[in-house]
Homo-oligomer: A and B are copies of this chain.
């Protein structure tokens, strides 16, 4: 069963075989066991509020938002069977047409139960995530937000700054022609959905800010080595970085 704001999306979802039935209001969900809220971050809480009037009392609600503390703290009191989720797969595209079969295979799927989460709720959502081929990871909403600030939200700002910096090149056509796989990969997440970038920053502001300040400290270190022509220290840093990356892959 699918619910979307726009009728056209409902029709596309049925046509693509993504759902059996779809409509623009919540009445279609009167008998469901579990709801995945897949809206932008700012719409998750209003959606959970609306859902509470339309679901069986033992139904589970989960979300796929990329920030968890703020969502879980506010949604849990609204619905006792709410559990925060974050499937970490996707690309820079958006909308139903960007859907891909097998997108979740091998990808981390984070679930953030709290002290009040019933075991049944965690088990049901974990089972569904594993059935998609995801690797389920369980942690606190707070630990999730601190980790994704480094590996997901910081890369967006780092990458966006790279594209922004290149605007200063007077001969941009030549730079564009010479941009190759290195530029394409490093700029990918920064060139993604601007609204999503803002939402990450709003909802995970304190962790992201801390990551950004540490990032700037390391960047300044590199700039300093280059200004001082301290090639030995630059190579030592790049060696550490070279060895550090592998465990993240």
Contacts and interface: CB of A to CB of B under 8 A. Distances in A.
A227 to B, nearest CB: 6
Interface residues of A, number: 96
A36 interface: no
Contacts of A227: 209
Contact of A163 (B201, B211, B244): B244
A147 B163 contact: no
B241 A164 contact: yes
Per assembly, the copies of the chain total 2
State the majority secondary structure of interface residues on A: helix
Given A144-B178, A177-B137, A178-B144, A165 B245 contact: no
Contact of A222 (B152, B161, B219): B161
A150 B170 CA distance: 11
Interface of A: 88-91, 107-108, 110, 137, 139, 143-144, 146-148, 150-152, 154-169, 171-172, 174-195, 197-198, 201-202, 205, 208-209, 211-223, 225-227, 229, 231, 234-235, 237-242, 244-249
